[in-house]
Amino acid sequence: MKKLSILLLLLLTIKGLSQNNNVDLSKIKFCELTIEDLKAQDTDLKQVNLEEMDLCTDGFVQDGRFENRIGYVSKLYPGVIFQKYDSQNSIIAKIHLTREFKGYLPDGNYIDVKTLKASDILKKYDSLDSWTSRGCSDYWGIKKDDKLNFYVKIDKNKNPRYPVDQKYYSEQLIQGIDVISDCYSYFEQKSQNEKLKPLYIVDEKEVSEEFIRGLKPESVETITVLKDKSAVEKYGEKGKNGVIEIKLKKK
């Protein structure tokens, strides 16, 4: 039942990603949405190779936050390429946006990449790390917190390459956008949160948080909260984060 509920929730999330040909990336739950969820809505989901605009063209340099140079496209989401965390894990850790993308970024900003210039991005955001490059890439990057990355094609006929001709490149069109989530940190934080959860006891039996959420208020007779020493003395190591004791009304 729990898995079914999660699947339905994710499918509803995916359904809301694209309305009126505008994709809303703010509805995507990175590190939770999976390739299987996408396939459940679009059986024609296709695997494609893609250019990593922030990496060296020789393929030697890798980015460990996602599966490099491999993505998945759906006709339901024009201009969107979904990328997995790694080859063994199907969760979505990155999305690459092509020039066909038209819609909302995770922060709610609306863009049409086909007409988007570097100057538009520089005006829209503060505290940008602009004109970055690994030196072996074909693109200049404009970055925000290393999670939102905009790319402009480097003109190899412009010499010298440094210093960057900011006036020239500011008027160039954005060629692609990367939206990246650090799933490693996400799961580390999730694990830490799990460790800090209290122990739930209902009618002298240990239950899950999901069970607690399913209780109706009118079925509860008393709630007792144990903390610190009293919780450990009664329940041992399991009670170190506190204990919530619930007694249900007798039927």
pLDDT beyond 60 at 16 = no
Average pLDDT over residues 211-227: 90
Of 141 and 16, the one with more pLDDT: 141
Band the pLDDT of 191: cuts 50, 70, 90: low
For 108-131, write each residue's pLDDT tens digit: 999 999 999 999 999 999 889 999
Specify the pLDDT at position 195: 67
C-alpha to C-alpha distance for 223 and 139, rounded to whole angstroms:
60
Q: What is the mean pLDDT of the chain?
A: 88
pLDDT beyond 70 at 136 = yes
